[in-house]
């Protein structure tokens, strides 16, 4: 029998998608599952986005389309980047089938076998899997809750070797929701200026910033990095459009040319309806997205109020995205309803089986001390899910006679 390639046999299925599929399976069995698992922002784009999509359907030419993206999409994206203080020309940007596709193709274009890729931990679950698919080696830089899940520049200095090829930076962060301050970004940028490596800046949550904070980009603080940095963007999170599958990237012309070559031999172009909708999202009124951010900030506050009242659970305050990443490791080694909770897998499994609440285990993101909460669901679902979460820990403390010091 013909065999599959070693590359695909060694590839890992997405941990978040696996949990989402498990949730759907349990719901079909009639169970009242609440899911804090999948990273969906849970709001819809504004009417002008849908109108643009309908217009594209009605005006379909039946032709192939530019691999870089339509004129309207490219222009809208360039304008938005300009508004963010990140000027790019047409030959320095291009479209992809979502941010994930852009990241995948970037790694394909940049990596040779055994090249090392620096990844702060916790990380988005697909980063190391993508790196390994192209025979690269992920190098993890551990950023625990005790340092607010944030990378320090000295960690980059310690991890750099002659084999280092890429540094990946996600701000605000999936899975922690942490936002780097201007000084923190500048410190990282200062260190990166010392090294001749590629930088992939995953900026897909850059509008999702709370509490009056501002998003600071590496190119704002360290413009000298421009010739070796690629920005990755998407309509999935900021505009509530994950299913439309449009990502964008901006960077040096030589990497954009390489990416267009890869796309030309694989997908040719993204579809015209999604391109039209994305152009409207990037280039049209932004108030619908701004209102969604206000709602997400309120939900974040609701989550953090509950977590703050669970003894032994530690969670740095997320300032962006729509995730919280509580450290629950003080409960490891204890039991719940007679079941020993050794790690994050046991914790999430028991939580799902006894409370019908789904979270993603932290080990999927390289940090087994905790679990990711995606809190973008509606208020009623969020309230009930948080109640189940808190009740689980109350039961563990009661059953194990646990007493924690209260700060």
Predicted pLDDT of residue 22: 82
- How would residue 406 be classed by pLDDT, with cut points 50, 70 and 90? low
Going through 237-281 in order, the beta strands assigned E by DSSP cover 247-250
- Distance of alpha carbon 74 from alpha carbon 91, whole angstroms: 10
Assigned token pair, 35: 């899911």
Statement: residue 233 has pLDDT above 90: yes
Q: Average pLDDT in the 353-380 region?
A: 96
User: Residue 397: how many CB atoms within 10 A of its CB?
Assistant: 16
- Structure confidence at residue 97 (pLDDT): 97
Query: What are the distances in angstroms from CA 299 to CA 149, 216, 329, 370, 373?
Result: 21, 23, 24, 20, 11
| pLDDT interval class at 171 (50, 70, 90) | very high
* Torsion on CA atoms 150, 151, 153, 154, rounded to nearest 10: 110
User: What SS3 state is found at 388?
Assistant: helix
Tell me the DSSP string of 19-54: HHHHHHHHHHTT---EE--S--------HHHHHHHH
* Confidence check: pLDDT of 407 > 60: no
At residue 271 the predicted structure's pLDDT band, cuts being 50, 70 and 90, is: very high
pTM of the full predicted structure? 0.96
Contact 26, 34 (CB under 8 A): no
pLDDT of residue 313 exceeding 70, the answer is: yes
- Residue 192, CA distances (Å) to 120, 246, 399, 401 in order: 14, 29, 49, 49
Q: pLDDT for 63-81, tens place per residue? A: 999 999 999 999 999 999 9
C-alpha span between 228 and 200 (Å, rounded): 9
- Higher-pLDDT residue of 289, 281: 281
Domains along the sequence of the chain with CATH: 6-43+288-399 (3.90.1150.10), 47-285 (3.40.640.10)
* Model confidence at 272: pLDDT above 90: yes
Q: What confidence score (pLDDT) does residue 166 get?
A: 98
Sheet holding 323-324, edge to edge: 323-324, 371-374, 360-361
Radius of gyration of the chain (CA): 22
Whole-number percent of the chain with pLDDT over 70: 100
């Amino acid at each position: 029998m013909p065999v599959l390639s070693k590359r695909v046999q060694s590839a890992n299925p997405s941990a978040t998608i696996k949990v989402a599929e498990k949730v759907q399976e349990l719901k079909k069995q009639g169970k009242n599952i609440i899911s804090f698992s999948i990273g969906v922002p849970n709001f819809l784009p504004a009417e002008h986005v849908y109108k643009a999509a309908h217009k594209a359907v009605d005006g379909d030419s039946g032709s192939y389309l530019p691999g870089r993206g339509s004129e309207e999409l490219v222009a809208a994206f360039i304008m938005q980047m300009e508004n963010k203080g990140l000027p790019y020309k047409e030959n320095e940007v291009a479209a992809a089938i979502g941010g994930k596709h852009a990241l995948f193709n970037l790694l394909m274009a940049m990596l040779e076998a055994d090249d090392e890729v620096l990844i702060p931990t916790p990380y988005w679950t697909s980063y190391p899997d993508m790196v390994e698919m192209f025979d690269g080696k992920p190098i993890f830089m551990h950023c625990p809750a005790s340092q607010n899940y944030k990378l320090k520049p000295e960690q980059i200095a310690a991890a750099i070797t002659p084999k280092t090829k890429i540094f990946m930076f996600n701000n605000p962060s999936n899975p922690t929701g942490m936002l780097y301050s201007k000084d923190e970004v500048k410190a990282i940028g200062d260190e990166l200026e010392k090294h001749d490596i590629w930088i992939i800046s995953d900026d897909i949550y850059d509008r999702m910033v709370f509490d009056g904070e501002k998003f600071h980009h590496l190119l704002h603080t360290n413009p000298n990095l421009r010739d070796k940095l690629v920005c990755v963007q998407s309509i999935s999170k900021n505009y509530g459009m994950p299913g439309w599958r449009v990502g964008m990237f901006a960077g040096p012309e030589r990497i954009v040319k390489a990416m267009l070559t890869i796309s030309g031999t694989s997908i040719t172009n993204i579809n015209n309806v999604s391109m039209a909708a994305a152009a409207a999202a990037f280039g049209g009124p932004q108030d619908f997205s701004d209102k969604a951010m206000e709602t997400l900030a309120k939900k974040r506050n609701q989550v953090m109020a509950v977590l703050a009242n669970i003894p032994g659970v530690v969670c740095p305050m997320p300032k962006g995205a729509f995730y919280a990443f509580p450290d629950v490791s003080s409960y490891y080694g204890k039991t719940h309803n007679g079941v020993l909770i050794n790690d994050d897998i046991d914790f999430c499994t028991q939580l799902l089986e006894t409370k019908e609440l789904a979270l993603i285990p932290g080990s999927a993101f390289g940090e087994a001390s905790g679990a990711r909460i995606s809190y973008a669901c509606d208020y009623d679902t969020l309230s009930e899910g948080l109640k189940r979460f808190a009740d689980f820990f109350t039961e563990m403390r009661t059953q194990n006679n646990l007493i924690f010091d209260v700060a």
